[in-house]
Amino acid sequence: MPGIETILSPALFHLYEEELEQKNVVVIDILRATTTICVAFANGAREILPVAKPEDAAAMQQLGWIAAAERHGETVEGFDLGNSPQDYTEARVSGQKIALTTTNGTRALQMSSAAKHVWVGSFLNIKALCDQLREDNSDLLLFCAGWKDKFNLEDTVFAGAVAEMLADKFTVLDDATLAAMDLYKKAQPDLNTYLQKASHVNRFKSLHIETDLDVCLKIATLNVLPEFKNGTIQNRQHA
């Protein structure tokens, strides 16, 4: 059976890079980058290019791309789109290519580029994601983007949800995954209530964007499977 491990923060990523090219990575940034990416593809986006800096996103506008930038949970000044999934409507993104930079999620994607496959994971596409992971007998790394290299609750709860869904197919190889599974079991009866204590949810409240949490917790509602490959993200699953 293939093995599953959980990277609880980008600061620990270097400990898991051995034989990365033979492993699948799921990049997790529930609030909100990987959720937003899934919503964008569900609403017809053609491609999403994760870039390091806002100016890199702005430069792509010359080529007809939409530029989106978030820092510290807020839309960067001068950008029409930040990182709220609610802003990636069909009217706004259908048929479009989007250059996106966020505080944590896009950086985690770029860190994972050497992996066999890099999948974008969110509660919204958890079924499509786990169906795909079942098909591949490769070892799996669940990579929590966290907050500025720190552990966060929401990404780890999601990692636990995936590990739980795949428990019949994968051997849990580390305590981080066991902890994530325990956290998910504790949160699962009511994710929204459990995550009210999360630091990023409290950041949302101060920014008056708490409704994003409801959107980010709509479990298995999107049949999309975004993959980060050759520096860009495209949807590998079509409804």
**Contact set with ligand MLT (CB under 6 A):** 29, 31-33, 70, 73, 83, 102-105
Instruction: Indicate the residue among 6 and 106 with the shorter CB distance to ligand MLT.
Output: 106
Q: Beta strand pairing status for 140-144 and 24-28? A: parallel
Percent composition of the chain: helix, strand, coil (DSSP 3-state, to 5): 45, 20, 35
CB 225, CB 119: distance < 8 Å: yes
Rounded to whole angstroms, the Cα distance separating 20 from 212 reads 33
Give min distance, CB of 208 to ligand MLT, in A: 13
Give min distance, CB of 118 to ligand MLT, in A: 15
40 burial level (CB within 10 Å; 0-12, 13-18, 19+)? buried
Instruction: Indicate the residue among 31 and 215 with the shorter CB distance to ligand MLT.
Output: 31
Peptide bond connecting 107 to the previous residue in cis, omega within 30 degrees of 0: no
Instruction: Indicate the residue among 24 and 102 with the shorter CB distance to ligand MLT.
Output: 102
Rounded to whole angstroms, the Cα distance separating 72 from 104 reads 9
Instruction: Indicate the residue among 101 and 181 with the shorter CB distance to ligand MLT.
Output: 101
Give min distance, CB of 232 to ligand MLT, in A: 17
Give min distance, CB of 230 to ligand MLT, in A: 21
Instruction: Indicate the residue among 82 and 160 with the shorter CB distance to ligand MLT.
Output: 82
Record the tokens describing residue 136, joined without a space: 């591949």
Give min distance, CB of 122 to ligand MLT, in A: 11
CB 223, CB 237: distance < 8 Å: yes
